[in-house]
């Protein structure tokens, strides 16, 4: 008998490995935060003596979701301004609110709220872009969730920095501080082509190559963005980025609702990653990302919620369903973005985009125990012919019962173990009053 930390005994294990295997009546063994074995349950009980054994009858285990694009702290602006197009929403509501309210304390509480919501919906890793990324990293580490923290860069002054050079300088300092953190990685996060000029972009691209970290950017989010760029620069934003040398496997291009065939071809050739945010794109009426065309071209497409101010939730189960449904409309093909594809976009494809697929993104021996358990024997997902179909097309996040990150049990029977929910809600209420009164 081998002694291990934890043995999980679910009905199904949805591995999201290369063969998309779904195993029935198998157990998953965790030791020192790592998946050390996946084997038939009968065999597991003979082979392992676990300090904790959890029987999960009627449950499926799946890899924790990777929310590949969000602005966690913006949870405090959830519902502040709805039913508006992107630029009006940004310029008349979000940017003024940020100028007035966003500070370190705001980011602390907003990020805690976002992480609490993400854990309660099965997300174990998020790719963030916001001010005070030092605070985001600190909160994520304290709670124990995995994160890629965006080193934000924007041309104009904000509470975080005064000019592009200062943003880059502070980003580099933070990257240095975080280098040895096991759960936190970093990416440069130039906000968008229309808010970051050539000189800082060039600097970022050189640094990203030197440091081997991704560049995470909103690109081609709306037709207006593309048309305005043509007016002012004579080029589509992707053309300009391509000339700067930005198209590479380091690029995490978010949204991409406006793409023509030669752009898709060059993104594929250069190995860039794309993050699709179907609900944010629908809510801001930004446009349709041609997801199936991108996948057919061999591009890695991941999935993100965007911030809670434009979604308005951080629910990757809902996002998978939206991606699958919207993908069919975008292609006018019911076979487009099938359930398995949507699940891969929400898990392993995100890990690939963030460059952490050797660590997470699927349930395989040797990877970190970043796992969620979903209860599928409830009314809402019965009868059950295919667990992946239920997961994508029928299940709700309330059915997520347990979550582990690197083997740490962060959600236990829907209770958060590393967040004080009562004091978090009190802090959120204080911010609501402050923002409401202004």
Name which of 279 and 306 has its Cβ closer to Zn ion.
Answer: 306
Using a 10 angstrom Cβ sphere, with 0-12 exposed, 13-18 middle and 19 or more buried, the burial of residue 243 is exposed
Supply the minimum distance, in Å, between the C-beta of residue 285 and Zn ion: 15
Q: Is 306 in the site for Zn ion (CB under 5 A)?
A: yes
CA-based angle 126:127:129, to the nearest 5?
130
How far are the Cα atoms of 104, 168, 206, 214, 217 from residue 211, in angstroms, in the given order?
27, 13, 9, 9, 17
Interface with Zn ion by CB under 5 A: which range of 111-119, 134-142, 161-169, 306-314? 306-314
Looking at the Cβ atoms of 12 and 89, the one nearer to Zn ion is: 89
Q: Which of residues 113-132 bind Zn ion (CB under 5 A)?
A: none
How near is the Cβ of 288 to Zn ion at its closest, in Å?
Answer: 17
Residue 396, classed as helix, strand or coil, is coil
CB of 306 to Zn ion, least distance (A): 4
Judged by CB under 5 A, which stretch of 183-191, 299-307, 334-342, 424-432 contacts Zn ion?
Answer: 299-307
The region of 13-21, 27-35, 229-237, 301-309 touching Zn ion under the rule CB under 5 A is 301-309
The span of 172-180, 195-203, 298-306, 392-400 binding Zn ion (CB under 5 A) equals 298-306
Q: Which is nearer to Zn ion, 94 or 410 (CB)?
A: 94
Give the separation between CA 97 and CA 80, rounded to whole angstroms: 9
- Name the minimum Å distance from CB 255 to Zn ion: 8
* Token output for 255: 């949204």
Between 281 and 292, name the residue whose CB sits nearer to Zn ion: 281
Other CB atoms closer than 10 Å to residue 66's CB: what's the count? 31
CB of 307 to Zn ion, least distance (A): 6
> Binding-site residue total for Zn ion (CB under 5 A)?
1
* Nearest distance in Å: CB 7, Zn ion: 39
Cβ 158 to Zn ion shortest distance, Å: 15
Distance of CA 142 to the CA centre of its chain: 19
Stretch touching Zn ion by CB under 5 A, among 185-193, 304-312, 386-394, 413-421? 304-312
Residue 391 C-alpha from the chain's centroid: 18
For tokens 């959600």, name the residue: 411
User: Smallest gap, in angstroms, from Cβ of residue 52 to Zn ion?
Assistant: 38
Nearer to Zn ion, 225 or 306 (CB): 306
* Shortest Cβ 48–Zn ion spacing (Å): 43
Please enumerate in sequence order all residues whose Cβ is within 8 A of that of 172, keeping only pairs 6 or more positions apart, or say none. 151, 207
Dihedral pair phi/psi, residue 63, rounded to 5°: -65, 140
| 31 to 60: interface string for Zn ion, x by CB under 5 A | ------------------------------
What is d(CA 230, CA 236) in angstroms, rounded to the nearest whole number? 5
Q: Are 175 and 213 in contact (CB under 8 A)?
A: yes
Q: How far is the CB of 376 from Zn ion (least distance, A)?
A: 32
Minimum gap (Å) between residue 182 Cβ and Zn ion? 26
Nearer to Zn ion, 282 or 418 (CB): 282
Report the run of H or E that residue 86 belongs to, with start and end: helix 86-89
With contacts defined by CB under 5 A, name the span among 16-24, 48-56, 201-209, 305-313 that binds Zn ion: 305-313
Q: Which stretch binds Zn ion (CB under 5 A): 24-32, 184-192, 197-205, 303-311?
A: 303-311
Residue sitting closest to Zn ion (CB): 306
The nearer residue to Zn ion, 63 or 171, going by C-beta atoms, is 171
What's the token pair of residue 117? Answer: 């919501």
Measured from the CB atom, is 71 or 138 closer to Zn ion? 71
Task: Give how far Cα 105 sits from Cα of 101, 135, 243, 411, Å.
Answer: 9, 9, 39, 25
Q: What is the DSSP string of 194-227?
A: TTS-HHHHHHHHHHHHHHT--EEEEES-SHHHHH
Q: Rank residues 134 and 306 by Cβ distance to Zn ion and give the closer one.
A: 306
Of the two residues 37 and 221, which places its CB atom closer to Zn ion in the complex? 221
Q: Which is nearer to Zn ion, 27 or 222 (CB)?
A: 222
Separation of alpha carbons 71 and 213, rounded Å:
19
Residue 210: partners with Cβ closer than 8 Å, 6 or more residues away:
none
Greatest pairwise CA separation for the chain in angstroms: 70
Neighbours of 99 (CB within 10 A): 11
C-alpha neighbours within 13 Å on the C-beta side of residue 356: 27
Residues interacting with Zn ion, by CB under 5 A?
306
């Amino acid at each position: 008998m081998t002694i291990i930390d934890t043995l999980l005994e679910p009905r199904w294990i949805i591995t999201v490995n290369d063969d998309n295997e779904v195993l029935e009546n198998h157990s998953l063994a965790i030791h020192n935060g790592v998946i050390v074995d996946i084997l038939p349950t009968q065999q597991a009980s003979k082979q392992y003596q676990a300090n904790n054994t959890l029987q999960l009858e009627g449950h499926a285990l799946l890899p924790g979701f990777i929310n590949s694009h969000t602005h966690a702290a913006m949870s405090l602006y959830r519902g502040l301004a709805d039913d508006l197009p992107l630029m009006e929403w940004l310029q008349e509501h979000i940017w003024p609110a940020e100028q007035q309210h966003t500070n370190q304390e705001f980011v602390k509480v907003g990020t805690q709220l976002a992480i609490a919501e993400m854990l309660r919906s099965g997300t174990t890793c998020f790719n963030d872009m916001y001010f005070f990324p030092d605070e985001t990293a600190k909160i994520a580490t304290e709670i124990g969730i995995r994160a890629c923290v965006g080193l934000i860069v924007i041309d104009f002054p904000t509470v975080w920095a005064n000019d592009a050079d200062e943003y880059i300088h502070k980003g580099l300092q933070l990257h240095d501080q975080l280098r040895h953190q096991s759960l936190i990685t970093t990416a440069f996060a130039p906000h968008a082509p229309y808010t970051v000029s050539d000189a800082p972009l060039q600097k970022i691209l050189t640094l990203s190559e030197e440091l081997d970290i991704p560049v995470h950017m909103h690109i081609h989010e709306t037709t207006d963005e593309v048309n305005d760029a043509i007016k002012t620069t004579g080029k589509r934003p992707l053309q300009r980025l391509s000339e700067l040398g930005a198209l590479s496997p380091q690029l995490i291009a978010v949204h991409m609702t406006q793409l023509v065939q030669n752009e898709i071809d060059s993104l594929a050739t250069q190995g860039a990653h794309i993050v699709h945010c179907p609900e944010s794109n629908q809510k801001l009426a930004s446009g349709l990302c041609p997801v199936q065309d991108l996948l057919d071209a061999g591009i890695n497409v991941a999935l993100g919620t965007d911030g809670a101010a434009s979604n308005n939730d951080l629910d990757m189960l809902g996002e998978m369903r939206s991606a699958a449904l919207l993908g069919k409309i975008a292609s006018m093909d019911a076979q487009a973005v099938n359930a398995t594809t949507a699940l891969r976009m929400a898990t392993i494809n995100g890990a690939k985009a963030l460059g952490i697929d050797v660590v997470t993104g699927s349930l395989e021996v040797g990877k970190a125990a970043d796992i969620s358990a979903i209860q599928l024997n409830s009314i809402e997902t019965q009868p059950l012919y295919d667990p992946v179909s239920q997961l994508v097309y029928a299940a709700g996040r309330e059915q997520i019962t347990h979550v582990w990150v690197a083997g740490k049990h962060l959600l236990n029977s829907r209770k958060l173990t590393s967040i004080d929910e009562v004091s978090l809600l009190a802090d959120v209420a204080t911010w609501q009053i402050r923002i409401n009164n202004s």
